[in-house]
Amino acid sequence: MYSFVIVCALLPCLFCVARGCCLPTQYSANLVETTGEYNRDLDVASLAYSTRDYFYDYTGKQIAYREKKDNATAHTKIDSWVIFKYSTGKKYTIISNNCTTDDLTDDMESPCIPDDATPFGDHSYPAGIKASIWYIPDHVQGGNKRLSVTKDGCMPLSLSIITGGSDYILRSSLYQNVTTKITDPSVFTVPDICKHDSNLSDTLYYDRLEEN
């Protein structure tokens, strides 16, 4: 009887939980980022500023970006081009004509705001743009994200991420010039230098066999 009352009291809440929208399945954006890092084990901190031309393609199961990163602590300026191919589970990082291939362990993140996200309220920008903020916890790695999207069209506006320790990374990103298409499809084409890597994936291996 008691539990029946509780169930009845909770039931309406199942229908009043706010649901997040889905970002476009394809979009391009220019990101302006500030990243702070603190490694508790090593007790070292650093700060970096970067800009990224970022391309998200959920349809093609791929993400790519070209980044210019200015590490103010290490005094380095690094241009990189990174390609995530979720269909083959590979990540390619190209820095000054040197390609590194890594295995991807996670699936591609859905463009939808997850069900366990909490709405952190709405606000508005000049020119009548209305935005919603979502708090997204990372139950696996620890840490969380705070994502701001337009109410109309669910386009990304800003994102701040704090990772779980012991290497804490806090990054804030502003999304500029967001468009719902891939403005530079060539960014997803894995360059030849990656195909001559010692760790060839099967596909790349057969591509090379065909060339010869």
Ligand X SMILES: *[C@@H]1O[C@H](CO)[C@@H](O)[C@H](O)[C@H]1NC(C)=O
Residues that bind ligand X (CB under 6 A): 30, 35, 37, 46-48, 71, 73-74, 98, 100-101, 176-177, 197-199
Q: Give every CB contact of residue 163 below 8 A, 6+ residues apart in sequence.
A: 138, 141, 142, 143, 169, 170
Q: Judged by CB, which is closer to ligand X: 110, or 177?
A: 177
Question: H/E element holding 93?
Answer: strand 90-95
Count of other CB atoms within 10 angstroms of residue 64? 24
Nearest to ligand X of 29, 147 (CB atom): 29
Q: Helix, strand, or coil here: 72? A: coil
- Give the separation between CA 150 and CA 131, rounded to whole angstroms: 4
Q: Which is nearer to ligand X, 36 or 119 (CB)?
A: 36
CB nearer to ligand X: give 168 or 188.
Answer: 168
| The residue type at 185 | P
Please, are residues 161 and 174 in contact by the beta-carbon 8 Å criterion? no
CB of 167 to ligand X, least distance (A): 8
Q: Which is nearer to ligand X, 9 or 127 (CB)?
A: 127
Least CB distance to ligand X at residue 73 (A): 5
Tokens of 99: 């390609």
Closest CA to 65 of 52, 75, 76: 52
